[in-house]
Structure formats: structure tokens, C-alpha cells
Amino acid sequence: MLDWIRHNALAAAVFSFATILTVAIIIQACISRSELAQMQKAQRPFVFTNATVANDWTRDTEHTMQITIIAHNASEFPAVDVVYSERIVVMETKEEVAEKLKHCPKTFSYPPHHGDDLAPASLLAESTRYLPTAQTDDISDKSRIALGIDEVIIYGGIKYSGIAGGDFETQYCFKYLPTGSFRWGTCTCQAFRG
């Protein structure tokens, strides 16, 4: 009788262990599948932008402010099929700019072609693009910008995909800051979609 109990107890223990192991393997497979989906989703590119003044607009020989947008892929995965909208430059009074920023555009007009790629962030030079320089209208009174009476903003968008697909958009908006260490601040129209 004692042998039968030991044999059945051993069989019951082996069966219990096998069942627990099977359940653990199934749970691990589900977790792995979920992690894989998250990893694929995380393989998306993240394109950030910043603005820079491309000329010394305060000089007497300059009559416009020239602005260059710099796009940079900050992800470890490439951005593919990158398309840049036209950059919109606004130079108006502080009040007019504030009103314009209350009604940020939800979409931008993009050219029909695709094909530009931004490499992963680890390849710094290939992960950065300098967009063609945009400029303000002629500045008749530069002191109005320097004193903050008039403001200059630039905005636009960048559409792109990742190697695992997806439709993403970076909408940028920068306002010129006439004083301080930084020359450009972000506007309320800045957004990431996708």
C-alpha cells in the first residue's frame, strides 16, 4: 500500500509539475508575442525639428530674416518616405501672431513625391536634414522685432513612415525670441501624430 501511495504521489507530483510548466510556457509565449508587438511599435522613428537663423538679419545690408528648419531622426530606427511640407513664415504684430496661433493648421499641404530617408540617430550626419531656407517679407523696421512689437514664426510639417510601416507626422512651429540665450522657442502648434 505504501508503494502504491508513493508511486501515485510521484505520478501526481510529475503531472502537477508538467501542468504548471505547460501553463508557464503558454503564458511566456503570450508575453513574448505582446513584447514583440511592443518592440515593433517601438521601432518607429521620431523626427524632431529645430530652427536657426541663416543670416545676420540685423545688419544694414540684410532686409529679410532667413530661417532654416533642421529635421533630425532621434530614433534608433530609420524614417522612410519622408516628405516635407512648405514652410510658412509669418511676421506680424504680437497680437496678430497670438491670434494666428489660436487656430493652428490641422493639416499641411505636402508634395506628392516620396523617397527621402532619415537614418537612425546613431548615424548623425545621415539622420539630419537641413530644409531649404525660408525667409520673411522685407523688414522695414528691425527694431519692432528686436523690441517684441512684431513677432516672427515659422511652421510646417514632416510626414514619414518606419521600417515596420505606420504613418507619422511631426508638425513644427517656432517663434523667434529676440532676447536671451535661445533664439527660437516652440509654439502651441507643435505636435506629433501617429
Q: Which three cell numbers stand for residue 61?
A: 545690408
Mean of all residue pLDDT scores within the chain: 84
| Pairwise CA distance, residues 151 & 144, whole Å | 8
pTM of the model: 0.76
Residue-range definition of the domain harbouring residue 92: 43-193
> Does residue 79 sit in the same domain as residue 94?
yes
pLDDT, tens digit, 9 for 90 and up, residues 120-146: 988 888 899 999 999 999 999 999 999
- Say if residue 70 is in the same domain as residue 142: yes
Together in a domain, 62 and 141: yes
Contact between 78 and 46 (Cβ < 8 Å) = no
Q: How confident is the model at residue 52 (pLDDT cuts 50, 70, 90)?
A: very high
Domain identity same for 10 and 36: yes
Q: How far apart, in whole angstroms, are the C-alpha atoms of residue 141 and residue 156?
A: 26
Helix (H, G, I), strand (E, B) or coil at 99: helix
pLDDT in the model for residue 65: 96
What domain count does the chain have? 2
Whether the Cβ atoms of residue 64 and residue 132 lie closer than 8 Å to each other: no
Domain shared by 125 and 184, yes or no: yes
pLDDT of residue 193: 85
**Digit-coded pLDDT (tens) for 87-118:** 999 999 999 999 989 988 888 889 887 678 99
CATH of residue 189's domain is 2.60.40
How is residue 156 written as a grid cell? 510646417
**Same domain for 144 and 102:** yes
CB 171 within 8 Å of CB 108:
yes
Residues 29 and 72 in one domain: no
pLDDT on residue 143 = 95
Let me know whether 52 and 137 are in one domain.
Answer: yes
Distance, in Å, from the CA atom of 3 to the CA atom of 29, rounded to the nearest integer, reads 38
Same domain, 53 and 6: no
Q: CA torsion sign, 117 to 120 to 121 to 125? A: negative
H-state helical runs in 43-141: 94-101
For residues 78 and 37, state if they share a domain: no
- Looking at the fold, whether 84 and 20 belong to one and the same domain comes out as no
> Residue 106 has what pLDDT?
82
d(CA 117, CA 75): 13
Is the same domain home to 25 and 115? no
Kindly give the residue spans of alpha helices, DSSP state H, lying in the chain.
2-42, 94-101, 142-146
pLDDT level of residue 21 (50, 70, 90 thresholds): very low
